[in-house]
Amino acid sequence: MKRKLIVHNGNISIGGQEKMLIEFLKLLDPQKYEVLLLIEENNGKRNDYIDEIPKWVEYKFLTTERFMSWIEKNKKSKNPLRKVLYSFLLKIKKKISAKEFEKYLNFSDIIIDYDMGLMRNLHKINLRNKKLIGWSHAGDGSLHKNKNKRKNVERYDYIVTINEVMKNGYEKNTIHPQILKIYNFMDFDLILEKSKEAVEENLGEYIISVGSLTENKNQALLIKSFSRLKKEKNILEKLVIIGEGKEREKLQMLIKNLNLENEVFLLGQKLNPYKYIANSKLFVLTSKNEGFSLTCIEAMILRKMVIVTETNGTREILGNKSNYGKLISGDETDLLNLLFFYLKNENERKKYKEEGYKRAKQFDKGNAKLAIEEFIDRI
């Protein structure tokens, strides 16, 4: 008899955690499991991964496309009253989705809250003695500032973490949940296959960064360092940034002020970033915080040297001593010097390409499948 699972997630728009949701679903065996995927937001055309949900997985949206469109319009408005309405609608969205979520609880006794998006409202949901699993993709397991979240984290029976610091944090700060670590994982064959597609744009030789355009991803640091690199070292390479987000306007203004319109390209979201990574010379990530950098691993799979800011997630991937790629402090000059050195020293770059690829193999989906199925089956 198949085991039934409810899987909850906020959305299926382009993002690292959403990409992992799809990989998680693909990893499950349809001969062993029956899955109901409950998605909080119906974002219409921005449901980027909807066609990648396995055909055997049933899915339902907990809010309507019309309601989410209303939220989006108020979010983009510069009218202060619209901003207040936007905040109000977000609270309404949580109430609606929580109420809709309860309608499906009879489907299974096991709930996997894949983005821990239920945490704020768990005290309002009658879980009826279900086993609740939280899958934590961000943070370090610290106590939440929000009172409800701080209490509701104790309602989880298990919390799955994706790095050691996060695991230790939850073990220190929670009492009820059992804490375990399961690394994020990659579909090597798919990434390699997609990387072979042609890049339509004529970009020449370039450095690449992939990530949402947010304050945390800190692309401004990379752009400023790159600007100095052009002026002080006269490099010929361009800078390509793939991703979308609320910092786009600020980054575009920065690029304009530094006279880099013909040197830095914000290409937006791409369903296939792998072909761009495959054709780059270096991969760079300047995040302030990373729980586990999928794009870093993807670049390593494609045999690209990676230069990334040191965070809990990147340190665990690359090793404390930059074993498999270069960890940097987040200093503009430090980044400038490393970029210049490795752009000009191909042999040194090649060493990290090969060591990084060996490390990336440890995150192949085959290693994760057994751990995930064993965990689910013993609940």
Give the CA radius of gyration of the chain.
21
C-alpha dist (Å) from residue 305 to 143, 279, 311, 326, 379: 35, 12, 17, 8, 40
**DSSP E strands: which ranges in 99-143?**
110-113, 131-135
C-alpha dist (Å) from residue 19 to 26, 99, 173, 273, 312: 11, 26, 28, 12, 20
Mean pLDDT score of the chain: 93
- The confidence score (pLDDT) of residue 292 equals 87
Q: Which amino acid is at 11?
A: N
pLDDT digits (tens, 9 = 90+) for 337-352: 999 999 999 999 999 9
Mean pLDDT for 235-249 is 95
Dist. CA 132–CA 109, nearest whole Å = 9
- The confidence score (pLDDT) of residue 80 equals 83
Q: Give the pTM.
A: 0.86
- The residues near 132 (Cβ < 8 Å, ≥ 6 apart) are 111, 113, 122, 155, 156, 157, 158
pLDDT digits (tens, 9 = 90+) for 73-96: 888 788 888 888 888 888 899 899
- How far, rounded to the nearest angstrom, does the alpha carbon of residue 296 sit from its chain's CA centroid? 11
- How far, rounded to the nearest angstrom, does the alpha carbon of residue 279 sit from its chain's CA centroid? 22
Statement: residue 145 has pLDDT above 90: no
Of 55-69, 74-88, 180-194, the range with the lowest mean pLDDT is 74-88
- The confidence score (pLDDT) of residue 274 equals 97
If DSSP codes are grouped into helix, strand and coil, which group holds residue 116? coil
Q: Is the dihedral of CA 102, 105, 111, 115 positive or negative?
A: negative
- The residues near 370 (Cβ < 8 Å, ≥ 6 apart) are none
Dist. CA 293–CA 186, nearest whole Å = 11
pLDDT digits (tens, 9 = 90+) for 266-283: 999 998 999 999 999 999
The string of DSSP letters for 312-354 reads: HHHHHHHTTTTSSSEEE-S-HHHHHHHHHHHHH-HHHHHHHHH
Closest residue by Cα to residue 305 from 346, 352, 358, 339: 352
